[in-house]
């Protein structure tokens, strides 16, 4: 462990006293050490300066601390804007992306996606039961309150979910599924390698089976969107509806699908105000080039057009602009555009209301600062972009794209970077050694992209009376989520400490169990590591081998992991295992047994209460893997029940060879086995007093 030194270990009086003590040897002729002596005054001034330097070199400033965090791979998280889903009724008009909405309190949101003219209208949801048992309309059940298990409707496995639309979308069909997750063990966040916990088949009438383009729900195991293609072959049936049929071919070993709502009219909104947006294109060099900017912000904004040529960017002054219902189109001469696949055309659309806060004059001095005037809100620095007049290597001043960074000292004299100070609402350029300088001139700095947000203050509640600013239409909304301010240094330190405590490499048996429990995308109810145990070598100890018995969080009586569950845990163990150690995930086994108890109790005590307590005590869980049970343990649980006066007798009886009974009457099982209660016989002797 590194021991930090206290460099600020002297105070002013100590420094003065030590210096005066050296004077007789340094200058014997100096004999007057009183405060009126000019030499003593200079000595005290140097002592004050030394104390100040000691204080500065003894402390770690914010910039140094941030760099130290980055050395550990911990980068402070940037600010994020809140998101919410909007409920758009079928009669609502089409709207372009970035259409603004506002709450009565003045919180502004923007559409993150276009609301098209032709969009699907969900008319009804039905369930077709197997074996010809008919079709049941469940549209009223999917209102957010009731719980529907579509693939086991009425206790019948193999049911199909039928979703009918009166109109189909133009390109893709995106549906919102609200899933109520079961209580208890939570599902771990998935990663890029997570497989779906179950197999679902999506079929469109006339088009056959289709594969989802995106599935945020993880096969209907959590709330989110499912995006499907809408091919031309998708045709309406005889009843005039476009049908989507959903079947479950493999149920998996975890929870059953639990739906509370299905919607096709939800659209995403983000809590931002776009004062400036940069639209980038890759165009071919030609005389007449036309580009379209489809957004509400482009429809009302002032445009500044920049073209990248072989020598660099230049601003285009001769172009034709045409306003349209959902944006604008620009026609220009792009014959000298740089060839290639990279972006060579940029259109900056500026909100005319804030134009004076988006265009600045520059004097070209080092460390020049410009005020953004954010009104107390935060700017999303990840998207903040400037276009500044910059002296290029060939000696010509041209426009250049400048980006926001966290530290200027990491960059050279020609890097087009700047800092953003949220508290002061300013941007600052470099000094010519670390970060380039801006060429002086009027309008030398243009904010090409600026989105401001309330961040954490944008997490509005559900149904907050959001209305479109264009026509005042009020729409419903879900509770906003995800908005947060930039991570502070203290929060970054805490995250680093938590990460250091949670090592990804396994050494002990507890490490293997913890990593198995944290397998991405799974609901793992329990895990037990078995060092030296190989299921294929039961009668001999396997060296350098760790088996982990895992229990899924299923909603059946005896949950058993399936092949995909075991494969996911095995991959997790493989990533975290120690060198030269082989790992394997194995399923838990169950050993059936019966229990028999006799209780002396009060007259009001019911037998069902004791039976429920016994079954709850023996419910499958992580702590029960490989755990036996003694009569005294169950007796202690029963004795605590209200109305039980005395536990007279407790007996267990095993039903197979996976468990055995000791001389004391206790049941013991193999380390990968869970005791499973088959039946419980309760005898009551009620007190008549």
Tens of pLDDT along 589-600?
988 888 899 999
Interstrand relation of 397-404 and 417-421 (parallel, antiparallel or unpaired): parallel
Nearest Cα residue to 390 out of 445, 349, 348: 445
At residue 133 the predicted structure's pLDDT band, cuts being 50, 70 and 90, is confident
pLDDT of 633 above 90: no
Nearest-angstrom CA–CA distance, 150 and 159: 7
Clarify whether residues 253 and 306 are in a common domain.
no
217 Cβ contact list (under 8 Å, min separation 6): 177, 179, 223, 224, 225, 226
- Residue written as token pair 């104390």: 51
Give the predicted TM-score (pTM) of the model: 0.80
Give the Cα-Cα-Cα angle 534, 530, 655 (nearest 5 degrees): 85
If one counts the domains in the chain, the total is 6
At residue 538 the predicted structure's pLDDT band, cuts being 50, 70 and 90, is low
Nearest-angstrom CA–CA distance, 369 and 476: 42
- Identify the three-state secondary structure at position 329: strand
Q: Would residue 6 count as lying in a domain?
A: no
What is the distance, to the nearest Å, from the Cα of residue 300 to the centroid of all Cα atoms in its chain? 33
- Domain holding 150, by residue range, is 122-264
pLDDT of 2 above 50: no
At residue 453 the predicted structure's pLDDT band, cuts being 50, 70 and 90, is very high
- Quote the pLDDT of residue 482: 93
Q: Which long-range contacts (CB under 8 A, 24 or more apart) does 95-98 make?
A: 95/296, 95/468, 95/470, 96/294, 96/295, 96/296, 96/299, 96/326, 96/327, 97/294, 97/295, 97/296, 98/274, 98/277, 98/295, 98/296, 98/297, 98/298
The arithmetic mean of pLDDT across residues 447-454, rounded, is 95
Tens of pLDDT along 574-629?
999 988 889 999 999 988 888 899 999 988 888 889 989 998 888 887 678 888 88
Burial class of 320 by CB neighbour count within 10 A (0 to 12, 13 to 18, 19+): exposed
pLDDT of 143 above 90: no
- Quote the pLDDT of residue 83: 95
Q: What is the DSSP string of 373-414?
A: --TT-EE-TTT-EEEEEEE-TTS-EEEEEEEE-S-GGGS-TT
- Quote the pLDDT of residue 431: 92
Q: Would residue 7 count as lying in a domain?
A: no
Nearest-angstrom CA–CA distance, 197 and 353: 51
- Quote the pLDDT of residue 168: 86
Clarify whether residues 525 and 666 are in a common domain.
no
Nearest-angstrom CA–CA distance, 80 and 563: 39
Clarify whether residues 109 and 83 are in a common domain.
yes
Q: For residue 561, report the phi and psi dihedrals to the nearest 5 degrees.
A: -65, 140
Clarify whether residues 232 and 138 are in a common domain.
yes
The arithmetic mean of pLDDT across residues 59-75, rounded, is 81
pLDDT of 413 above 90: yes
Tens of pLDDT along 331-357?
999 999 998 888 999 999 999 999 999
Nearest Cα residue to 16 out of 56, 46, 57, 38: 46
- Quote the pLDDT of residue 4: 61
pLDDT of 239 above 50: yes
At residue 103 the predicted structure's pLDDT band, cuts being 50, 70 and 90, is very high
CA distances to 396, 416, 639 from 392, rounded to whole Å, are: 6, 11, 86
Nearest-angstrom CA–CA distance, 102 and 109: 6
Q: Would residue 3 count as lying in a domain?
A: no
**The CATH number of the domain where 574 resides is what?**
3.30.300
At residue 1 the predicted structure's pLDDT band, cuts being 50, 70 and 90, is very low
CA distances to 385, 620, 644, 653, 661 from 679, rounded to whole Å, are: 69, 15, 21, 10, 17
The arithmetic mean of pLDDT across residues 494-505, rounded, is 82
Check: CB of residue 87 under 8 Å from CB of residue 475.
Answer: yes
Q: Would residue 353 count as lying in a domain?
A: yes
- Quote the pLDDT of residue 93: 92
Nearest Cα residue to 302 out of 337, 330, 333, 335: 330
27-36, 152-161, 245-254 — most confident range = 245-254
Nearest-angstrom CA–CA distance, 528 and 671: 8
Clarify whether residues 553 and 661 are in a common domain.
no
Check: CB of residue 41 under 8 Å from CB of residue 47.
Answer: no
The DSSP H or E segment spanning 513 is helix 509-517
Nearest-angstrom CA–CA distance, 338 and 285: 7
Nearest Cα residue to 277 out of 303, 309, 313, 308: 303
- Quote the pLDDT of residue 497: 86
Nearest Cα residue to 514 out of 637, 358, 622: 622
Clarify whether residues 229 and 252 are in a common domain.
yes
Q: Would residue 4 count as lying in a domain?
A: no
- Quote the pLDDT of residue 33: 86
Clarify whether residues 412 and 282 are in a common domain.
yes
Q: Would residue 447 count as lying in a domain?
A: yes
Check: CB of residue 307 under 8 Å from CB of residue 313.
Answer: yes
What is the distance, to the nearest Å, from the Cα of residue 675 to the centroid of all Cα atoms in its chain? 38
Clarify whether residues 251 and 155 are in a common domain.
yes
Residue 339 DSSP code: P
At residue 539 the predicted structure's pLDDT band, cuts being 50, 70 and 90, is low
Q: Would residue 287 count as lying in a domain?
A: yes
Nearest-angstrom CA–CA distance, 62 and 40: 37
Tens of pLDDT along 241-287?
999 999 999 988 988 999 999 999 899 999 999 999 999 999 999 99
Check: CB of residue 158 under 8 Å from CB of residue 185.
Answer: no
Clarify whether residues 477 and 571 are in a common domain.
no
Mean pLDDT of the chain: 89
Clarify whether residues 370 and 326 are in a common domain.
yes
Clarify whether residues 444 and 472 are in a common domain.
no
At residue 68 the predicted structure's pLDDT band, cuts being 50, 70 and 90, is confident
The arithmetic mean of pLDDT across residues 405-415, rounded, is 90
- Quote the pLDDT of residue 49: 92
In whole angstroms, how large is the CA radius of gyration of the chain? 35
Nearest-angstrom CA–CA distance, 202 and 217: 14
Residue 31 DSSP code: -
Clarify whether residues 302 and 250 are in a common domain.
no
At residue 203 the predicted structure's pLDDT band, cuts being 50, 70 and 90, is very high
Backbone dihedral region for residue 103 (phi beyond 0: left; psi -120 to 50: alpha; all else: beta): beta
Q: Would residue 365 count as lying in a domain?
A: yes
Tens of pLDDT along 215-237?
999 999 999 999 999 999 999 88
Nearest Cα residue to 192 out of 514, 482, 521: 521
Nearest-angstrom CA–CA distance, 282 and 285: 10
Check: CB of residue 172 under 8 Å from CB of residue 230.
Answer: yes
Q: Can you list the alpha helix ranges (DSSP code H) found in 218-355? A: 296-300
């Amino acid at each position: 462990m590194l021991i930090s030194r206290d460099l600020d270990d002297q105070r002013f009086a100590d420094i003065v006293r030590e210096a005066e003590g050296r004077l007789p040897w340094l200058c014997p002729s100096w004999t007057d050490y009183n405060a009126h002596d000019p030499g003593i005054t200079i000595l005290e001034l140097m002592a004050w300066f030394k104390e100040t330097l000691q204080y500065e070199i003894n402390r770690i400033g914010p910039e140094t601390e941030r760099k130290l965090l980055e050395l550990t791979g911990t980068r402070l998280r940037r600010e994020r804007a809140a998101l919410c889903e909007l409920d758009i009724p079928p009669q609502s008009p089409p709207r372009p992306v970035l259409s603004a909405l506002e709450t009565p309190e003045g919180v502004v949101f923007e559409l993150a996606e276009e609301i098209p003219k032709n969009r699907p209208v969900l008319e009804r949801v039905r369930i077709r039961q197997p074996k010809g048992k008919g079709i049941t309309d469940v549209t009223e059940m999917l209102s957010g309150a009731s719980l529907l298990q579509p693939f086991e409707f009425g206790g019948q496995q193999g049911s199909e979910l039928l979703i009918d639309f009166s109109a189909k979308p133009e390109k893709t069909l995106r549906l919102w599924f609200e899933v109520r997750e079961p209580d208890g063990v939570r599902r771990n966040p998935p990663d890029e390698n997570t497989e779906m916990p179950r197999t679902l088949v999506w079929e469109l009438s006339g088009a056959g089976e289709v594969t989802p383009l995106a599935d945020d729900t993880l096969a209907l195991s959590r709330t989110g969107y499912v995006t499907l293609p809408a091919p031309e072959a998708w045709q309406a049936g005889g009843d005039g509806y476009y049908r989507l049929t959903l079947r479950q071919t493999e149920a998996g070993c975890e929870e059953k699908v639990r739906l509370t709502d299905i919607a096709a009219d939800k659209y995403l909104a983000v809590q931002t105000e776009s004062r400036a947006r940069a639209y980038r294109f890759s165009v071919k060099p030609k005389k007449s080039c036309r580009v379209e900017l489809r957004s509400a912000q482009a429809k009302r904004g002032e445009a500044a057009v920049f073209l990248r040529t072989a020598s660099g960017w230049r601003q285009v002054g001769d172009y034709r602009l045409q306003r349209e219902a959902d944006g604008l189109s620009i026609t220009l001469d792009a014959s000298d555009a740089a060839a290639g696949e990279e972006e060579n055309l940029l259109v900056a659309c500026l909100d005319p209301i804030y134009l004076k806060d988006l265009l600045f004059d520059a004097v070209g001095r080092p460390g020049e600062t410009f005020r953004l005037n954010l009104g107390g809100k935060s700017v999303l620095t990840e998207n903040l972009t400037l276009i500044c007049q910059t002296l290029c290597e060939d000696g010509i001043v041209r426009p250049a794209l400048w980006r926001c960074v966290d530290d200027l000292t990491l960059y050279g004299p020609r890097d087009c970077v700047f800092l953003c100070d949220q508290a002061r609402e300013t941007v600052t350029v470099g000094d010519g050694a670390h970060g380039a300088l801006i060429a002086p001139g009027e309008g030398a700095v243009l904010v090409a992209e600026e989105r401001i947000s309330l961040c954490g203050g944008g997490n509005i509640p559900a149904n907050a009376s959001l209305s479109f600013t264009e026509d005042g239409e009020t729409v419903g909304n879900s509770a906003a989520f995800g908005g947060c301010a930039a991570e502070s240094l203290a929060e970054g330190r805490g995250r680093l400490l938590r990460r250091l405590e949670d090592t990804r490499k396994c050494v002990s048996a507890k490490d293997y169990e913890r990593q198995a429990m944290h397998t991405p995308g799974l609901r793992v109810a329990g895990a037990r590591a078995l060092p030296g145990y190989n299921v294929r070598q039961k009668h001999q100890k396997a060296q350098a081998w760790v088996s982990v018995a895992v229990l899924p969080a299923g909603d059946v009586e005896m949950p058993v992991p399936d092949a995909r569950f075991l494969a996911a845990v095995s991959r997790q163990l493989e990533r975290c295992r120690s060198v030269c150690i082989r790992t394997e995930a194995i399923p838990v086994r169950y050993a059936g047994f019966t229990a028999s108890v006799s209780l002396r109790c009060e007259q009001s005590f019911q037998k069902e209460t004791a039976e429920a307590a016994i079954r709850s005590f023996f419910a499958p869980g992580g702590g029960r893997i490989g755990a036996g049970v003694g009569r005294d343990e169950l007796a202690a649980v029963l004795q605590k029940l209200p109305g039980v006066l005395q536990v007279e007798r407790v007996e267990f009886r095993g039903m197979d060879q996976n468990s055995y009974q000791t001389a004391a009457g206790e049941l013991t099982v193999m380390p990968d086995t869970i005791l499973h209660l088959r039946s419980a016989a309760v005898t009551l002797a009620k007190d008549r007093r």
